[in-house]
Each structure stands twice: as structure tokens, then as C-alpha cells.
Chain A
Amino acid sequence: MNLTFALNGRTASVDVEAGETLLRTLRDRLSLTGAKEGCVEGECGACTVLLDGQPVDSCLLPSMSVARRSVTTVEGLGSVDTLHPVQAAMVDSGGVQCGFCTPGFIMVLVALLRENPDPTELEIRQAVSGNICRCTGYAQIVDAVIEKARGAM
């Protein structure tokens, strides 16, 4: 089936299978490997992308359901030379260790800061409750937002 949607600000057109998930389409057909496959049941958030600005688990999202909608992946935020403010904050605060969960956290935090530029610590923790990090213990990730990213967007 042909799927056309807006991906990181450009129009993407790709052939997909009927029950295929957006995560597979992104990684295997469009070579965007920022979003990661973790649990495949909506528990870990490693596959998070933005759908019309809202964070969603791409591992459970049928690709055909994003037809004519707008998807942003971590590749659409910044580049190695010009990091997005949330990416820079995560690096500066030590919010990145193994890195597997990082793109998912960043997508949720970008969505949060767009809705609420000055979130409290509780609001940050609630926003990332659907994301699991097994390295940092979350403190540095929360610090990244509180100390660096708040107000930077």
C-alpha cells in the first residue's frame, strides 16, 4: 500500500505492508534509525516520535494511520553540528549514557516544552512516565530540562 505523509517537514511517499508499524517503516524503509525498538507493547517509550506534535509509540502505530499527517523523529530536530536545545541539554547534563532511550526521551521533552515552556519537576516526571531509562536513574534527564532546556525553546 502506498503511504504519503509529512516526515520531518518534507513529504514522504513509501510502500508499506498492511499491518506494518510506523517504527518498521521509519527504520527499515526510510533508514531513520533514531527511534528504537524496545518492548513493542507501549511500556518503554524508546520508539517515541511526534504525531501532529503529540508523542506516540511508533512501535504500535500502524503506518497507514499516519497518512496525510505530520511525523517528527529525532532526526528532524537537530544535527550533530547544530543540536536542538533539548539535545544539547541532555549532553551537558549527563542525561545520556548508553543512548538507547535518548531519542524517545528527547521527543517527549520537546513536546512538553512546546506545550509548557516552564514545567515543574513533577510535570517533567509525569511527562516522561511512559519512557524507561535503565542507566541514568532519571535524575540527570530531569536536571537537563530544569537547568538547561527550560526557557531555551
Chain B
Amino acid sequence: MEFISPASKDEALDVLGRLGPDATVLAGGTDVMVQYLRGEIAPGHLVYIGGLDALDGIAADGHEFSIGALTPHRRLATDPLVLDLLPAVSAAAATVGGWQTQAVGTIGGNVCNASPAADLAAPLLTADAMVNLESGRAKRSVRLADFLIGRRQTAREPDELVTGLSVTPRQGRTGDVYLKVGRRGAMEVALVGLSTRLMLDDSDRVEAVAIAVCSVAPVPYRASEAEEVLKGTRLEAEAIREAAAVLATSASPVSDFRADARYRTRVLGALLERALRMAAERAAA
């Protein structure tokens, strides 16, 4: 195994173009190194991009919010701009492992690792995130919903580098929420995670709503059918019950040592109601 530390983004793209599938991109290492040390992956080359400062940073420009791929969870959890405009992303980042993981683990890594339980995926999906990719051949942007194609599978080509994400910030009477269920308050892989972005009109009707979930299917996903149920309602108990039922139908959770499928499905409905109530309070505030 060879360890390569490209000195620039262009050099990294050259290396990936040359090595293709034989290279594994490494940033904070909190997922890749666990898999490498366990022997779950055996790359010919580890391409370390953690030193490429150009891929690290947060920039807001009107309705466009850009987050560099190497931005660590700790910064997402504490940056005033993210806390204000993407509060659910901040909340999710604050639940990824402990300080040690958040100090080096990155948003690009969380997305590329494509875990069914990826905390950041749910709030990023509700914020219509686009994944920005670059290779020696071309640049392109892919909707996060299309980027996550399966458990630990993404649409990234072997010669491509995820350079960052473009996200729609909260605006107007909007409330963003991320809620995660685990057995304890920290260091948990989500048993169920749910994010919502709720926009209310001046008469407190649901003008727009986005709902995304993780840990209840092979990939985190947008629950579009449940969203449809809620549009135009005033979040009456009946509307939420119906949305929860539709959401439960869309889920296909696994039973494993963390929780069984029935539990995850039941929790999902309760989590939706709680998240919507919190989001409505925040939207009206």
C-alpha cells in the first residue's frame, strides 16, 4: 500500500485519474481508517487530501451556501453562519461521535462514506444539497438524493473528487430540525434520524415542507409522499397521523443488534410529530 499526499487539488485529480479504483481518498480517516485497519478495504493507494486547505471552508452568497468537502463536523456544529442558516446541519454534526471525531471528520467524508446512518445526510437532503465533483475531465454537480445510490455506494466515479456541497439556506418563516434516536445522548449511531425543514405562510399553513430520514433504509432519503400529505395543512393532528403512516410505509428498516425493524418504524412516526412541532415553533418565532 502506498500513501500519497498531493500538494494541491489539481495534483489530487491527476493522481485519481491515474490510479482510478485502486485509490481510496482519505481525509479525516474516521471511517476509512477504521475500515482499513479492520481489513474491510485493501486499497493499493491511500490518497490523503486532508491538507488541501482550498477544500475547507464555508461561504454564503445570497441563496447559495457552499461548504468545502474538508469542513470538519466541529466547525459545522459551532460556526455562527451554519447555526443560523443551516441549524439542522449543525445539530446533526454535533452528534457525529465525540470531539475527537468531530475535529477531523469531514462533511465530504460523511457523504462519501454513504452509511445508511449518515447523520449529515438527512438535514442536507432537506436543504436540497448538491454534491460538487471534479475530475481531470470535467466538473459536475449531482443532487445528494441522486449521489447516494446504495448502502456505502455513491455516484462518484473513481477519478472524481468531491470538492464540496452547495446547500439552500433557511429563509423566511422556516424552521429546520434534526432529531436522532439512540440509546444514550452521545457517541451513538442513529437508530433513527429525521430532519425536517418547514415553511409556514402568514396564516400558519404549511407552504413547503421537506422531510428526510436516515437509518431506516439502505440510504437516507427524502420522504416525498409524506411531504405531500402535509402541504397546505395547519399540521392538524390528523394530518400528522396520516403523514406518519405514509412515512412508515416508505421505510424499510433492518433489524440488527441496535434495534429491531418494528421499533425503528414505530419511533419514526413519533419522531416526525416531534420534529414538525419543533419546526413549526421555530418557523413562527
> Do A and B belong to a common assembly?
yes
Chain A residues with CB under 8 Å of chain B are: 1, 18-19, 21, 40-43, 45, 48, 51, 54-57, 60-62, 64-65, 67, 108, 111, 126-131
Query: What is the distance, in angstroms, from B30's C-beta to the closest C-beta of chain A?
Result: 5
Contact in complex: B98, A61 (CB < 8 Å): no
- B interface majority secondary structure: mixed
Q: Given the complex, which residues of B lie within 8 Å of A54, measured CB to CB?
A: 74, 99, 103-104
**Alpha-carbon distance A64/B48, docked complex (angstroms):** 9
Given A41-B34, A42-B97, A130-B98, 8 other A-B residues pairs in contact with their CB atoms under 8 A: A54-B99, A54-B103, A56-B100, A56-B103, A65-B26, A67-B51, A127-B99, A128-B98
Q: Report yes or no: B33 in contact with A130, Cβ–Cβ below 8 A.
A: no
- In the assembled complex, the Cα of A60 lies from the Cα of B100 at a distance in Å of 10
Residue numbers in B under 8 Å from A129 (CB-CB):
98-99, 185-187
**A42 touching B103 in the complex, CB below 8 Å, given contacts A1-B3, A67-B5:** no
Contact digits for B4-46, partner A, Cβ 8 Å, 1 yes 0 no: 0100000000000000000000100110011011000000001
Query: From residue B101, how far is it (CB to closest CB) to chain A in Å?
Result: 5
CA gap between A55 and B30 in the complex, in Å:
13
Does B285 interact with chain A (Cβ within 8 Å)? Answer: no
Chain A hits for B186, CB < 8 A: 126, 129-130
Measured between beta carbons, the chain A residues less than 8 angstroms from B97 are 42, 130
Q: Is the CB of B2 within 8 A of A18?
A: yes
B103 and A51 form a contact (CB under 8 A): yes
Quick one: given A18-B46, A62-B46, are A131 and B98 in contact (CB under 8 Å)?
yes
Q: Which of B46, B50, B98 contacts A45 (CB 8 A)?
A: B98
Residues of B within 8 A of A126 (CB): 99, 186
Name the CB-closest residue of B to A64.
B3
Q: Tally A-B pairs: CB < 8 A.
A: 83
Q: Which residues of B contact A1 (CB under 8 A)?
A: 3
- CA–CA, A42 to B2, complex, Å? 23
12 A-B pairs within 8 Å (CB atoms) are namely A21-B33, A43-B187, A51-B104, A56-B103, A57-B30, A60-B34, A60-B37, A65-B26, A67-B51, A126-B186, A130-B187, A131-B98
- Chain B residue contacts of A62, Cβ below 8 A: 3, 26, 29, 33, 46, 48
**Complex Cα gap A60–B115 (Å):** 18
A111 to B51, CA, bound (A): 22
B138 close to A (CB within 8 Å): no
Residues of B within 8 A of A56 (CB): 100, 103-104
List the 5 shortest-distance A-B pairs measured between CB atoms, nearest first.
A130-B98, A129-B186, A18-B3, A54-B103, A60-B33
Contacts of B51 in A (CB 8 A): 65, 67
A51 to B103, alpha carbons, bound, how many Å?
9
Q: Contact flags (1/0) for B42-69 with A, using CB distance below 8 Å?
A: 0000101011000000000000000000
- Report how far A111 CA is from B5 CA in the complex, Å: 28
Query: Out of A40, A55, A64, A67, which one reaches B100, CB within 8 Å?
Result: A55
B36: which A residues are within 8 A, CB to CB?
A: 19
The answer, among B5, B99, B187, for a CB contact under 8 Å with A64, is B5
Complex Cα–Cα for A126 and B98 (A):
8
Query: Considering the chains assembled together, what is the distance between the CA atoms of A48 and B101 in angstroms?
Result: 11
Q: Which residue of B lies closest to A132 (CB)?
A: B187
> Whole-angstrom distance from the CB of B168 to the nearest CB of chain A?
29
A43 / chain B contacts, CB cutoff of 8 Å: 187
Q: Which residues of A contact B99 (CB under 8 A)?
A: 54-55, 108, 111, 126-127, 129-130
In the complex, which residue of chain B has the Cβ closest to the Cβ of A125? Answer: B186
Q: Of A61, A108, A127, which one neighbours B33 at CB under 8 angstroms?
A: A61
Nearest CB of B to A57, in Å: 5
- A133 CA / B55 CA spacing, docked (Å): 36
Within the complex, what minimum Cβ distance (angstroms) separates A105 from chain B?
12
Q: How many angstroms from the CA of A79 to the CA of B74 in the assembled complex?
A: 31
Q: Report if B1 contacts A (CB, 8 A).
A: yes
Q: How far is the CB of B109 from chain A (nearest CB, A)?
A: 12
